[in-house]
Amino acid sequence: MDGISDRLQQKMERLFLEAKDDILKAVLAGWDRKTPLHFSQVEAACHRLAAHWSCYLQEWAAREMTAESPESVACPTCGELCSLELAGRTILSTDGPVPILEWK
């Protein structure tokens, strides 16, 4: 994966291997064992799981950016220092809804 160090890649693979049995149980939940398992079922479940992680990481990144932003800024009209207020909203990423807080 681009931008991921070998050390981090190895850690992610180790964590995945530790969790694979639980992940497989979730992926295969509801599968009727009397019918063949279609790999599309596994793929769809894995994509849902990845989308959940993507939304979680996007929420975390937005929270970190908000935490590093100043709580007050100079007014563009008068130049005085004005306090900002936190406002919540939900953005819709390609992976699903992501609740964020931002300064207004």
Q: How far is it, in rounded angstroms, from Cα 99 to Cα 89?
A: 6
**What confidence score (pLDDT) does residue 1 get?**
58
pTM as predicted: 0.71
> What's the whole-number mean pLDDT along residues 77-100?
94
42 versus 85: which is more confidently predicted?
Answer: 85
Predicted confidence at residue 76, as pLDDT, reads: 86
Average pLDDT over residues 47-59: 91
Report domain extents, the chain.
Answer: 6-103
**76 or 61, greater pLDDT:** 61
**pLDDT at 58 > cutoff 90:** yes
Is 80 exceeded by the pLDDT of residue 12?
yes
